[in-house]
Amino acid sequence: MTDKGYTDKIKGKTKETIGDLRGDDKQKAEGILDQAIGKTKEVASDIKEKAEDFMDETKDKLNRK
């Protein structure tokens, strides 16, 4: 896994845990949101990487003909 989204997920988990311990629902919700943002960045990065791989494979196949 690349850094895409990883730091947001860690930051979010930390915020969520601290918010939970303090009884701070706002901080807990912000942490959950940060984790969702991190996961979204991670998924987007994976999709981009797979699309680039697909394009490279397609170009290779077309160049072989």
Nearest to 26 by CA among 35, 10, 15, 41: 15
pLDDT at 3: 81
> In sequence order, which ranges of the chain are alpha helices (DSSP H)?
6-22, 25-64
Residue 1 has pLDDT above 90, yes or no: no
pLDDT at 2: 57
Tokens 């919700």 found at: 29
> Mind listing the pLDDT tens digit for each residue in 2-58?
588 999 999 999 999 999 999 999 999 999 999 999 999 999 999 999 999 999 999
- Please list, in sequence order, all residues whose beta carbon lies within 8 angstroms of the beta carbon of residue 2, skipping any fewer than 6 positions away: 45
- The pTM of this model reads 0.78
CA distance 6 to 41: 8
